[in-house]
Amino acid sequence: MILEAKDLNYYYQDGEQRRYILKDTSISFEKGKFYTILGQSGSGKTTLLSLLSALDSPHSGEVLFNEENIKKIGYEKYRRNNVGIIFQSYNLIPTFTAIENVLVPMSITENEIPDDTKTVAYNLLDYIGIVKNKADRLVNQLSGGEQQRVAIARALATNVELILADEPTGNLDEEMEQEIIDIFKKLMSMGNVSLW
């Protein structure tokens, strides 16, 4: 198992009462597989993802990455070296260009990446469908689909084993949605993704 959640509990304290979002939730994921979590709105999908990506911590229970508790790895370090996160609302830095957004995590990670990070970033964007011309534009000058592609490239840029995406097509039209899903399928088919 690459990722495993054991007895996760997450709740909001509402006065005397606890409103559970996740209660004794356990789940595991194998390496090289593509998982989709479905559920009604408010069922705790985003909360689960935030716990799996170490953006938040559970009230009890543990998340294991390659059988090691992510708390022990360190949440920051885990996000830096082990997981790539894609958000519904892209979360790109608006004052940076597409290439600069991809370069940011490459300067943060401690994973081994080629020295010529700029070329790698251009290649990555090109593979995802962002040509050089667009890669040099500020991200707010790109369409929603293009911005999500940049977000995917950013998640891939640090050579992580795990990509977690929170409704990555939620803000896109149907045509774009399909294109993004196709990208994910293509990446999955490559197994241990390495685009350099």
Choices 6-14, 64-72, 101-109, 141-149; region in contact with another protein by CB under 8 A? 101-109
Give the C-alpha separation, 135 to 156, whole Å.
16
Binding another protein (rule: CB under 8 A), the pick from 22, 48, 85, 120 is: 85
Q: How far is the CB of 146 from another protein (least distance, A)?
A: 18
Tell me the residue type at 2: I
Q: Is 46 in the site for another protein (CB under 8 A)?
A: yes
Give the C-alpha separation, 120 to 116, whole Å.
6
Tokens of 128: 């995802």
Residues in the chain: 196
Q: Is 159 in the site for another protein (CB under 8 A)?
A: no
Tokens of 174: 């149907």
Q: Is 96 in the site for another protein (CB under 8 A)?
A: yes
Contact partners, residue 40, CB within 8 Å, separation at least 6: none
Residues at the interface with another protein (CB under 8 A): 46, 49-50, 53, 55-56, 76-81, 85, 87, 89, 91-96, 100, 103-109, 117, 154, 166
